[in-house]
Amino acid sequence: MLKTLRLALLPAAALLLLTPPAGADQNWKTSSMVWRQMDNCTRAAQKAYPDYTPESNAKREAARQACLRNGNLPGEASAPPSPQQPAAAQQ
């Protein structure tokens, strides 16, 4: 009985030992590279405009979006609107 069980498990163990380990596929590598580039754009914009004033926030987001466009990277589907000029200045 034990010998039969050993003979049955031997091919299964050999198959497990001979299969190569699973690696990352090309889609995972590509998406990981894109996310890294997007993070670099965010870090560069944060370094350029570190304070949290409304003007700096707008400039930071504009810099981030410009970096994403320059790198042909995906951006936000609904980007925040650009700052509006006062009504007196538009006339």
pLDDT at site 76: 74
Q: Is the pTM of this model over 0.75?
A: no
Is-contact 72 38, C-beta < 8 A? no
Q: Which residue has the tokens 């930071």?
A: 60
DSSP for 27-76, please give it: HHHHHHHHHHHHHHHHHHHHHHS-S-SHHHHHHHHHHHHHHHHHTT----
User: 62-90, pLDDT tens digit by residue?
Assistant: 999 999 999 999 987 655 556 656 555 55
